[in-house]
Amino acid sequence: MGKVYLLGAGPGDPDLLTIKALRILQSADVVLYDRLVSPEILALANPHALLIHTGKRHGQQEEIQNEINSLMLEHASQDKTVVRLKSGDPLVFGRGAEEWALLQAHGIQVELVPGISSAISVPALAGIPLTCRGIASSFAVITGHNQKSETPDWMKFRGVDTLVILMGVENRVRIATELIALGRPASEPVAFIERGSTDRERVVISTLAEVSRGQVDVVSPAVCVVGEVVRLRSQLCANTVEEQGVLIAR
């Protein structure tokens, strides 16, 4: 019986891949990779490995997940080393825990290889610390939609200083409107970081009010940060803002 590695690819920059992740990728027989895994990271895999794209498509998530499950079971049962390669970290808003439980139920050995989550690394690399003394002492990482494409119960996060929203681009107007309705200031700054950590990164700085009015154009994938820490970017990236292709939405 083979083995499956649930492996985190990090935010996109291949230099942020862990040493262990690189070693396992280079010895894999099969790599099942998600849509957001960068080509640069795939290029580091064993040149003889079978690479299988398993990215989800809207409306077909369950069907594709069933295919992924079948592929993992099929190749692991053939005594192969299988890598389930996920962007970010396998257990942060992926189905890593579900896949782990499934494989374990079928008697297949599983090992988790954590990845650097985009929730923390992408804002930090863009000059936005999620906490800062005197400004923010708490943060929450939230998905912008659930299985039914509904937004979360934002009341739970009302008192959190910094909100990091993943997969929230599509619902950004609704999210901003709900946050304002719950009492967050309409003037509170918001940052969208598109394709973070890559040479295609683009940062959009705005406010909840502007986002709620549909005045901010953003392309997925993007990490959204809401909170006063966003204002620190202008100070921390004072010498590099021009290079990073920033749009100031005002």
22-36 pLDDT, tens digit per residue, is: 999 999 999 999 999
Asked if residue 86 and residue 60 are part of one domain, the reply reads yes
Q: Of 3, 56, 80, 161, which is the active-site residue?
A: 56
pLDDT of amino acid 62: 84
pLDDT of residue 149: 57
Residue 141 belongs to domain with CATH number = 3.30.950.10
94 and 147 assigned to the same domain:
no
Q: Are 224 and 190 in contact (CB under 8 A)?
A: yes
Q: What is the CATH number of the domain that holds 93?
A: 3.40.1010.10
Residues 136 and 109 in one domain: no
Catalytically annotated residue among 13, 29, 34, 89:
34
User: Are 89 and 7 found together in one domain?
Assistant: yes
Instruction: Give yes or no: residues 164 and 142 share one domain.
Output: yes
148 in active site: no
Mean pLDDT, the chain, rounded, equals 92
> Of 94, 113, 132, at which residue does a domain stop?
113
Determine the pLDDT at residue 61: 78
Residues 123 and 241 in one domain: yes
Per DSSP bridges, beta strands 202-207 and 189-194 are antiparallel
Same domain, 40 and 127: no
Instruction: For residue range 24-77, list pLDDT tens digits in order.
Output: 999 999 999 999 999 999 999 999 999 999 986 666 778 889 999 999 999 999
pLDDT of residue 63: 87
Are residues 105 and 7 part of one domain? yes
Q: Could you report the per-residue pLDDT of 102-115, keeping only the tens digit for each?
A: 999 999 999 999 99
Both 128 and 107 in a single domain? no
Do residues 140 and 90 share a domain?
Answer: no
Q: Are residues 124 and 244 in the same domain?
A: yes
Rounded to the nearest angstrom, the gap between the alpha carbon of residue 44 and the centroid of all alpha carbons in its chain is 20
Query: Residue 139: which pLDDT band, with cuts at 50, 70 and 90?
Result: very high
Position 164 pLDDT exceeds 70 = yes
pLDDT, residue 242, reads: 44
DSSP 8-state symbol, 16? G
- Are 14 and 122 in contact by the 8 Å Cβ rule? The answer is no
Return d(Cα 229, Cα 191) in angstroms, integer: 10
How far is Cα 79 from Cα 81, in angstroms, rounded to an integer?
A: 7
Q: Looking at the structure, tell me whether residues 62 and 78 fall in a common domain.
A: yes
Residue 141 has pLDDT above 50, yes or no: yes
Domain that holds residue 154: 118-248
The SS3 assignment for 124 reads: helix
Instruction: Give how many domains the chain has, as a whole number.
Output: 2
Return the structure tokens found at 2. 């083979």
Taking alpha carbons only, the member of 229, 139, 141 closest to residue 191 is 229
The pTM (predicted TM-score) of the whole model is: 0.91
The DSSP H or E segment spanning 39 is helix 39-42
* pLDDT surpassing 70 at residue 248: no
Strand partners, 51: 31
Q: Is 29 a catalytic residue?
A: no
